[in-house]
Amino acid sequence: MSAKVEINCTVNKQQQTLHAYPMERLLDVLREQLHLTGTKEGCGEGECGACTVFINGEIVNSCLVPVAQVEGASIQTIEGIASDDQLHAVQQAFIECGGAQCGICTPGMVMAAVDLLERKPNPSGEDIRTGLAGNLCRCTGYMKIFESVVRACRK
């Protein structure tokens, strides 16, 4: 493994200087160096979406991103979705509609829903299904997650 390098980026609006192997997964660096453990590992191969974050506003699986790629980038994680004590409408809707059960897919699912509503403020049923199709949940059967998204966009 090559030597560690310095990487500068912003994470949840804070400037960070990271020291990591270039090929370390962004997921691990976020969790282990910055202790942002809301980003979860489910599969490690980009299938489940539990590790979803935004890089420069783009939704990505952080388990597939070598940390060297985020030099100069702006990263947002689940910890940066609520502002102060005010939950995002998606988070509030997940609580009210039962969109979270065990909670392990929830941060990633919330990120995917936030991304969807930013792109399509009034999504159709089909938009919701395809918009969340990169995120797997084993508890809910997705119905209450769909309801949560519908409720969030009514707010």
Partner 1 sequence: MQNLIGKSIPRKEGRKKVTGQALYVDDLRFPEMLHGTTVRSPVARGRIKSIAFGGDIPWDEFAVVTAKDIPGANYVALILNDQPYLADEVINHPEEPILLLAHTDKYLLEEARRNVRIEYEELPAIFSLQDSLAKKEIIWGEDNVFKSFLVDKGNVDDVWSKADFVVEGEYHTGAQEQLYIENNGAIAIANLEDGVTVWGSMQCPYYVHKALIKLFSLPEEKIRVIQTETGGGFGGKEEYPSMIAGHAALLAWKSGKPVKMIYDRAEDMVATTKRHPSRTRHRTAVTKDGKLLAMEIDFVIDGGAYCTLSPVVLSRGTIHAAGPYFCPNVRIDSRAVATNVPPHGAFRGFGAPQSIFALERHLDKVAKTIGLTPDDFRRRNFIHAGQTTATSQLIREKVDMEGLLNRAFELSDYYAKRELFARENRGSSPTVREGAAISLEPTLTVGLLPRSALPTPRIKKGIGFASFMHGAGFTGSGEVYLQSVVGAEATAEGYVRILAASTEIGQGTNTIFAQIAAEALGLDYDLVEVAQPDTANVPNSGPTVASRTCMVVGKLVESAVLGLKQTLVGSGLLKGQYTQAEFRKACGDYIAKFGPLKSFSQYQPPPNIHWDDDKYQGDAYGAFAWAVYVAEVSYDPLTYEAQVDDFVAVQEVGKVINPVLATGQIEGGVAQAIGFTLFEHVVWENGRMINNQMTNYIIPTPADIPPIRVYFEENPYAYGPAGAKGIGELPMDGPAPAILNAIENATGVSFNHVPLMPEAMMEKALVTSK
User: Parallel, antiparallel, or unpaired: how do β-strands 74-76 and 52-55 relate?
Assistant: antiparallel
Binds partner 1 (CB under 8 A): choice among 56, 103, 118, 155: 103
In this structure, which amino acid lies at residue 51?
A: C
Q: Decide: is 38 part of the binding site for partner 1 (CB under 8 A).
A: yes
- Residue number with CB closer to partner 1 (8 or 143): 143
Q: Decide: is 42 part of the binding site for partner 1 (CB under 8 A).
A: yes
- CA distance linking residue 58 with residue 37, whole number of Å: 20
Give the pair of three-digit tokens for residue 67: 């940390």
Q: Decide: is 87 part of the binding site for partner 1 (CB under 8 A).
A: yes
**Nearest-10 Cα torsion for 107, 113, 117, 120:** 150
DSSP 8-state code for residue 25: B
Binds partner 1 (CB under 8 A): choice among 12, 74, 101, 151: 101
Q: Which stretch binds partner 1 (CB under 8 A): 5-13, 32-40, 54-62, 66-74?
A: 32-40
